[in-house]
Amino acid sequence: MARLKTGTKGFYKLVGGGIESRSKNIIYGPPGTIRTVFAMQFLWQGLQEGEATSFHVMNKMFPRLTVCFKSFGLDIELLKT
């Protein structure tokens, strides 16, 4: 199965070349474990490669995510439809 780049070299190596295409994954952990940052990097990598992306969260609204992305220099507001 094809694998997707995560944009994170260490994780890319850890999982043997990326996350399986069309797989569903849950990023889980206590506060402060960089879940949102990892998800943002993975989504941004996919957008840069022309992939369709989706990010489902239970504790953050889109405006708050927009601020998080902007803090890393990633402007997702332009992508909202």
Interval 66-76: pLDDT, tens: 787 788 787 77
| % of the chain with per-residue pLDDT over 90 | 0
Helices in the chain by DSSP H: which ranges?
Answer: 9-14, 35-48, 62-71
Contact between residue 47 and residue 54 where contact means Cβ atoms under 8 Å apart:
no
pLDDT digits (tens, 9 = 90+) for 13-31: 888 888 888 888 788 888 8
Q: Per-domain residue ranges for the chain?
A: 3-79
Sign of CA dihedral 42, 25, 50, 55: negative
The helix/strand/coil state of 20 is strand
At 80 the pLDDT is 58
Structure tokens at 68: 């998080």
Amino acid at 39: A
